Structure 1
Amino acid sequence: MTSCHPHSTSTAETAVPSSDALSFQVEDMTCGHCAGTVKSAIETKLPGTSVTADPGSKQVSVRGSSDFAAIQSAVIAAGYTPGPQRIG
């Protein structure tokens, strides 16, 4: 588990998730720094993905990959706990 310092609660990416995005919650993503870490971890492990991470809603959306196991692995390696994939 990572420790979080008070940071901005702005999203790591402001784009609205599209309907083809894979979405899930990360309950321990509590600030903008956390969101940036999750976004970077996924985009680094899975080049070609585009990640929107919103610490306010704790929602992460990933476009460009349907490999949820690899996405979960990247989030866990970054020190966070991904929730189950959300459908629809």
Structure 2
Amino acid sequence: MFQFHIPNMTCGGCAHSVTRALLDADPQARIETDPSARSVEVQSERDESVLLAALLAAGYPHTARPDAARD
């Protein structure tokens, strides 16, 4: 699992855009967004770099959380 902090994900519309971008990168991903915490959790078999590139391309720069658990 990956956790990302997305500073400019501030509302449900942003969360929908983030979800869409991640699903475009991996249609099988399981995604949970929390706009109030500006965070997203992603369960995916894709490489983290693919997911991060999709977020960046969608206009949602991110930071990997240092306390993120990875399976």
TM tier, smaller:
0.7 to 0.9
Q: Does the alignment pair 1:77 with 2:43?
A: no
Q: 1:30: which partner in 2?
A: 10
Give the TM-score taking structure 1 as reference length: 0.70
Give the TM-score taking structure 2 as reference length: 0.85
Q: 1:41: which partner in 2?
A: 21
Pick the structure with more helix per residue.
Answer: 2
AA aligned to 1:77 is: A
User: Which of the pair has the greater relative contact order for Cα pairs under 8 Å at 6+ separation?
Assistant: 2
Residue among 23, 32, 42 paired with 1:62: 42
Residues 37-81 of structure 1: CA distance to partner in whole angstroms, max 9, x if unpaired? 001100111121111111100111001235110011110111111
2:36 aligned counterpart, secondary structure: coil
AA aligned to 2:9 is: M
User: 2: distance between equivalents of 1:63 and 1:44?
Assistant: 14
- Residues paired across the two proteins, number: 68
Q: Which has the larger radius of gyration?
A: 1
